[in-house]
Structure 1
Amino acid sequence: MKAHFPEEFMAASMALDVAHTDKLAAFAKEVKAMGIPLLAPDINRSHANFTVERLEDGRLAIRYALAAIKGVGEKAMEAVVAAREKGGPFRSLSDFAHRVDPQLLNRRQIEQLAAAGAFDSLEPDRARVHAGAEAIMRLAQESAEARARGQSSLFGEEAGALAALRLPQVDPWSKRERLQQEQAAVGFYLSEHPLGAYAQALARFRVRSSAVLADPDAGLVEGQVIKLAGIIEGYNERRARQSGDRFGVLRLSDTDGGFELLVFREQLEVARLLVEKNVPILVEAELRRRNGDDEWRLQARSLTDLDDALARLGMRFKLRVVAPEAAEALARSLAQARDGRGVIEVVVPVDAEHEAVVELGRQFAVSPLLAGELARLPGVTAVWEA
């Protein structure tokens, strides 16, 4: 069946393990390798379990299950889908709140759905939906009470006496925050891995993918030192049985998978600081093998904040600015990034056909992290490495 109906087979396999995040992460990686699109959870498209969906170009894809989001519950998601099928797709967050049963949902479930991106088709600002979970539940409760009193219109909608949903005004999540929240809700990085934004920069450092660790044709030899980069997934410390010396085990991931790094002596304090900062890490690791063990053991030679390393590299970024209000916010952001060798250039429209390029300086701590922050500023429409 897998050979002839791969999408259906993989969707059914994932459905069997809908509550097991570690297995779903492995399935997601396999689906990606098979070239099958894995679509994000969507309150208007997803079902409680995994389903196969046909795309506009005719290809088949797997739609992520609502019940696979951590902490939401299968019965609650079945009830949400039932409400959608009864009354049609949810037209807005207010419509969602009016139609769902507040006895089957709670604030935490709404927050998890928002963090996973399930409400993106209704409100793309995940931070606002997450912060507004209490307001959504309050409106759902008010709607349920109105229905119980029989206060509904001829069309089944609540009377105008019910207040409209007002989401709180909060700062949108940065790209890194968005992905971290998504990873916490789903159990792994579903839409993209945070290191994806660093691809060009990592090539400059000649960083290798973790995939080489399992590649017998990669030409790796014991004692070789290689460069890797990763997002921190976990860290703990232990004591060696014989010496009693303390050492750390740092669990990292990149776009191709995960790996563990052993941290000894002088690198221990560096590891602790980096874990506390929760930043992407640039690693120089020595390859070791135990007798009879086919897997590589990685021992840290050096650990560096990846963004700090890039700030010293002297990258060049361009920003397209189309509104005057961007100037003040841009100045504030760049004032906090004046400790590097990077170049920032601003592209501004002169008229309908011409643009001007203005160099702001050559002393900025430029990195993909800063680029992501600048891209969020009002009036900035694009940021790219020059």
Structure 2
Amino acid sequence: QTTMNSLFANDSSFQITHPEIPKVEKWSDLERLNKERDLIGIYLSAHPLDNYACILNYVCTADTVKLNNLQTLNGKEISFGGIITNVREGQTRRGSPYTIFKLEDYVGSIEIALFGEDSVNYGRFARVGLAVYVTAKIQPKRYRPEELEIKINSMSLLSDVKDKLISKITIQIPLFEINETTVTELSALLKNNSGNSLLYFQIIGEDAHMNVQLFSRPMRIDVNKHVIDYLKNNLSIDFKIN
């Protein structure tokens, strides 16, 4: 052991070089979250749809659980959203294009198939990592009426329609709950989450029929997950979107 350790002890030309740590670009939030899911099977630090949680939970009329049971939605116009996690594209034997994509939300996933013109019109949104908002009708298939399909009417990026879909929020506060602490917390919340949605306050008196609605002219708000979490965790405050 001593011989091995001292073999190059007197050789000043021998130096051990330490490996350099390569410089790499920082992962985007989506890349980081995908790595978490690939490693442990779940999103750990956040969810890639958190920026759109309000739309999915308060605007959309369906989620992937409902979409996996189309009988309950037969004949209905619906809206839903999620993130694209897998895409397959090709052509049928007759040369018609098709796109099959997997959409995930907070509660599950579903595969949706687009054929012909639908593939041409909406296939451009079927890209892994895109968060999309979809309106559709549940109806019988053209050639197999005993089966139901999701017939897409429109498809948009959630980032493009977020402000349009959440036009306003009304914060409902009982009169007796208005105090210095509540005012300070709400002021900080609104200041730190400015955005484009209209902001209303509804002050509720002791009698439920006695209330006043106020419109905040100078301030607009970003109705995001942080805002909703605060309002939901404050038992004395309620809210209404749109």
Q: What TM-score results when the alignment is normalised by the length of structure 2? A: 0.52
Using the TM superposition, give the Cα deviation of residue 169 of structure 1 relative to its aligned residue in structure 2, in angstroms.
Answer: 8.6
Matched, 1:384 2:231: no
Cα 1:311/1:226, change in 2 over 3 Å? same
Which residue in 1 is equivalent to 2:49? 195
Give the residue type in structure 1 aligned to 2:32.
Answer: R
Tell which has more relative contact order, 1 or 2 (C-alpha 8 A, sep 6+). 2
SS in 2 for 1:304: strand
Give the residue type in structure 2 aligned to 1:210.
Answer: T
How far apart, CA to CA, are the structure 1 residues paired with 2:49 and 2:192? 24
How far apart, CA to CA, are the structure 1 residues paired with 2:83 and 2:35? 14
Using the TM superposition, give the Cα deviation of residue 320 of structure 1 relative to its aligned residue in structure 2, in angstroms.
Answer: 4.0
How far apart, CA to CA, are the structure 2 residues paired with 1:183 and 1:271? 27
User: Comparing both structures, which one devotes a greater share of its residues to helix?
Assistant: 1
Cα 1:204/1:213, change in 2 over 3 Å? closer
User: Comparing both structures, which one devotes a greater share of its residues to strand?
Assistant: 2
How far apart, CA to CA, are the structure 1 residues paired with 2:31 and 2:223? 16
Contact 1:262 1:300 in 2 (8 A): no
SS in 2 for 1:278: coil
How far apart, CA to CA, are the structure 2 residues paired with 1:275 and 1:263? 10
Which residue in 2 is equivalent to 1:219? 72
How far apart, CA to CA, are the structure 2 residues paired with 1:177 and 1:315? 32
Q: Deviation string for 1:36-67 (max 9, x for gaps)? A: xxxxxxxxxxxxxxxxxxxxxxxxxxxxxxxx
- Equivalent residue for 2:83, pick from 231, 234, 253: 231
Give the residue type in structure 1 aligned to 2:227.
Answer: W
Structure 2 gaps, min length 5: 7-15, 170-188, 200-216, 232-242
Contact 1:281 1:306 in 2 (8 A): yes
Matched, 1:245 2:100: no
Using the TM superposition, give the Cα deviation of residue 270 of structure 1 relative to its aligned residue in structure 2, in angstroms.
Answer: 4.8
SS in 2 for 1:268: helix
Using the TM superposition, give the Cα deviation of residue 308 of structure 1 relative to its aligned residue in structure 2, in angstroms.
Answer: 1.0
Cα 1:190/1:244, change in 2 over 3 Å? same
SS in 1 for 2:125: helix
Which residue in 2 is equivalent to 1:261? 112
Taking only the aligned residue pairs, the percentage that are identical comes to 19
SS in 2 for 1:199: helix
SS in 2 for 1:212: helix
Q: Deviation string for 1:199-228 (max 9, x for gaps)? A: 322234233121113458x7322x433212
SS in 2 for 1:262: strand
Using the TM superposition, give the Cα deviation of residue 237 of structure 1 relative to its aligned residue in structure 2, in angstroms.
Answer: 2.5
- Runs of 4 or more, structure 1, over 6 Å off, are 161-167
Which residue in 2 is equivalent to 1:299? 151
Q: For the pair shown, which has the larger CA radius of gyration, 1 or 2?
A: 2
How far apart, CA to CA, are the structure 1 residues paired with 2:47 and 2:162? 18
Using the TM superposition, give the Cα deviation of residue 230 of structure 1 relative to its aligned residue in structure 2, in angstroms.
Answer: 1.5
- Equivalent residue for 1:210, pick from 64, 75, 94: 64
Using the TM superposition, give the Cα deviation of residue 282 of structure 1 relative to its aligned residue in structure 2, in angstroms.
Answer: 0.8
Q: Deviation string for 1:298-329 (max 9, x for gaps)? A: 232211111211032446884549xxxxxxxx
Q: Deviation string for 1:54-104 (max 9, x for gaps)? A: xxxxxxxxxxxxxxxxxxxxxxxxxxxxxxxxxxxxxxxxxxxxxxxxxxx
Contact 1:270 1:303 in 2 (8 A): no
Give the residue type in structure 2 aligned to 1:284.
Answer: T
How far apart, CA to CA, are the structure 1 residues paired with 2:125 and 2:37? 19
Which residue in 2 is equivalent to 1:375? none
Contact 1:196 1:255 in 2 (8 A): no
The Cα RMSD (Å) is 4.4
Cα 1:194/1:278, change in 2 over 3 Å? closer
How far apart, CA to CA, are the structure 2 residues paired with 1:256 and 1:293? 27
Q: Deviation string for 1:337-363 (max 9, x for gaps)? A: xxx94479xxxxxxxxxxxxxx9975x
- Residue pairs, 1:306-321, within 5 angstroms: 306-313=158-165, 314=167, 318=190, 320=192
SS in 2 for 1:178: helix
How far apart, CA to CA, are the structure 2 residues paired with 1:261 and 1:214? 10
- Residue pairs, 1:61-210, within 5 angstroms: 150=5, 171=26, 173-174=28-29, 176-186=30-40, 188-191=41-44, 193-210=47-64
Using the TM superposition, give the Cα deviation of residue 250 of structure 1 relative to its aligned residue in structure 2, in angstroms.
Answer: 1.8
How far apart, CA to CA, are the structure 1 residues paired with 2:55 and 2:82? 13
Using the TM superposition, give the Cα deviation of residue 234 of structure 1 relative to its aligned residue in structure 2, in angstroms.
Answer: 1.5
